[in-house]
């Protein structure tokens, strides 16, 4: 086999079963790819020795016909997931050298089904960012037009970049306000945010607990379906975990979309959106019409309040969650002459600027005298946004929107914080409402960068958005590769 990196998960599983190559050979190909792409700064930690041991087990299972759903599939893990015996830092200095004694539920589900851990992938510090520039170990570079040092997006930038650069067959991500879908769009891969509660949050480093949700980043829609199937499920250790049955997302792909109603929100044509993005949306609408879908213009007037609400709710929850990092129980510790000074020193040197900024915003909106004016009001508007989606889904089955206002921008080019926060303007509403969303690549823009389109669905209708995405993927036939992949 000349290039083992070219195959999707389903193709790899079939070829491994046919003994076309071994799991060990596949893993060695990915280890080689990781070594060749080191300059992109995607992996924080690798665990090749342990992975090779896992590969031996997978090869025995294939030999005996006992293979599991993801037997021998090499995946990368976003550094927000706790991994037993492997350093987990959330890309922050304050968790440097923290090695969990337990495994997150989502990653344990993957290992239980035979997936192999290549290592931990960089992300924005504590998942706070839209460009992967806030990571303690430095920026991750998008493999597309990498000479220009474009952002891979954030916060799951390392995960999306690794899948795009073929340095992982798939990767886990977390999505709080778009942190799976936005980097997937920037890197030309598929990123799926499930319904809140579909995947367990246990063992995931918390950012904003009412928003955080794990999901897969993959090369195509069918791979996303298979990954989600394994990652999902009820977990008694997570009180927000749903006990709804997990469908067979992979086997149920391929349904026609003829007659389904697709809503196109007019609010997602805001000022600042690039012409390439609008062209991609129009192209997507044409694909849907060609496949028999009914296109219905809709209005979501509360969309404009989503970012203000998000940047009150998320920092508030972050300030509460990050209070535990005090230098006493785990992680970094910087001594001082008193307990208070030790707290101050540890948090001052351990947290980056963006994390400090959000902690201060969150502490402010939760403080006495401001709680009602900001946090409580934001929660009320959040409920109205959720209700608006509920009402719109009585008229249409799915919504189609751009994933991002622009394609991947150059690293270091966005100095204005508000402009940076606006990158999530199309992804945040679904996060606030807790509904599922998926981003898939549709075309390249004039700079040869990927353009992503987002599909949103009703609560726990991941199967529906996967089916729509599957049809659009076939129409778009997006088979481009990053311009440096040949030399890697």
Active-site residue list:
78, 155, 179
**Helix, strand, coil content of the chain in percent (nearest 5):** 45, 15, 45
* Cα Rg of the chain (Å, integer): 21
CB of 264 closer than 8 Å to CB of 298:
yes
- Reading the block at residue 149, the tokens are 């040092």
Contacts of 478 (CB under 8 A, 6+ apart): 188, 440, 441, 442, 443, 450
8 A C-beta contact, residue 160 and residue 399: no
Show the 3-state SS of 121-147: ECCCHHHCCCCCCCCCCCCCCCCCCHH
Rounded to a whole number of angstroms, the distance between the first and last alpha carbons of the chain is 17
**CB burial of residue 101 (10 Å; 0-12, 13-18, 19+):** exposed
Question: Distance between alpha carbon 134 and the CA centroid of its chain, in Å?
Answer: 16
Beta strand segments in 325-477, E: 398-402, 437-444, 450-456
Contact 483, 148 (CB under 8 A): no
CA distances from 214 to 55, 156, 175, 205 (A): 25, 11, 6, 11
- The one-character DSSP state at 232 is -
Angle between helical axes of 23-36 and 9-17 (0-180°, round to 10) = 140
CB neighbours of 42 closer than 8 A, spacing ≥ 6? 34, 76, 121, 122, 140, 158, 161, 162, 165, 167
Residue 149: how many other CB atoms lie within 10 Å:
14
Q: Is-contact 327 339, C-beta < 8 A?
A: no
Give the dihedral of Cα atoms 256, 261, 264, 266; nearest 10 deg: 180
């Amino acid at each position: 086999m000349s290039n083992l990196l070219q195959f999707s998960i389903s193709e790899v599983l079939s070829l491994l079963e046919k003994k076309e190559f071994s799991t060990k050979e596949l893993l060695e190909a990915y280890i080689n790819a990781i070594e060749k792409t080191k300059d992109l700064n995607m992996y924080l930690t690798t665990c090749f020795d342990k992975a090779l041991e896992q590969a031996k087990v997978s090869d025995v299972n294939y030999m005996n016909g006992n293979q599991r759903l993801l037997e021998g599939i090499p995946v990368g893990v976003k550094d927000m997931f706790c991994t037993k015996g492997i350093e987990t830092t959330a890309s922050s200095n304050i968790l440097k050298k923290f090695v969990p004694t337990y495994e997150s539920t989502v990653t344990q589900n993957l290992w239980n089904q035979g997936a192999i851990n290549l290592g931990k992938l960089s992300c924005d510090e504590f998942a706070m960012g839209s460009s992967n520039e806030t990571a303690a170990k430095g920026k991750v570079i998008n493999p597309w037009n990498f000479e220009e040092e474009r952002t891979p997006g954030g916060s799951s930038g390392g995960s999306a970049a690794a899948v795009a650069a073929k340095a992982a067959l798939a990767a886990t991500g977390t999505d709080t306000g778009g942190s799976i879908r936005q980097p997937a769009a920037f890197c030309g891969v598929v990123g799926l945010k499930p319904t809140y509660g579909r995947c367990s949050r246990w063992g995931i480093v918390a950012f904003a607990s009412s928003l955080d949700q794990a999901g897969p980043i993959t090369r195509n829609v069918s791979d996303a379906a298979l990954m989600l199937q394994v990652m999902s499920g009820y977990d008694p250790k997570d009180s927000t975990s749903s006990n709804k049955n997990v469908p067979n997302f992979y086997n149920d792909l391929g349904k026609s979309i003829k007659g389904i109603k697709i809503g196109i929100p007019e609010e997602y044509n805001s000022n600042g959106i690039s012409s390439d993005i609008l062209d991609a949306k129009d192209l997507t609408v044409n694909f849907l019409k060609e496949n028999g879908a009914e296109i219905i213009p809709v209005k979501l007037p509360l969309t404009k309040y989503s970012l203000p609400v998000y940047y009150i709710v998320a920092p508030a929850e972050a300030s509460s969650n990050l209070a535990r990092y005090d230098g006493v129980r785990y992680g970094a510790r910087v001594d001082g002459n008193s307990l208070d000074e030790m707290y101050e020193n540890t948090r001052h040197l351990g947290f980056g600027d963006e994390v400090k900024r959000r902690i201060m915003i969150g502490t402010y909106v939760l403080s006495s005298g401001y709680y009602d004016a900001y946090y409580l009001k934001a929660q009320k508007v959040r409920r109205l946004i959720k209700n608006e989606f509920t009402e719109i889904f009585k008229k249409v089955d799915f919504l189609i929107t751009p994933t991002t206002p622009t394609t991947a921008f150059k690293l270091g080019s966005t100095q204005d914080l508000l402009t940076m926060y606006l990158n999530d303007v199309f992804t945040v509403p679904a996060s606030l409402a807790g509904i599922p969303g998926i981003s898939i690549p549709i075309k390249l823009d004039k700079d040869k960068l990927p353009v992503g389109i987002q599909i949103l669905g009703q609560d726990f209708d991941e199967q529906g958005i996967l089916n729509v995405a599957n049809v659009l993927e076939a129409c778009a036939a997006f088979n481009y590769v990053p311009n440096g992949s040949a030399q890697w």
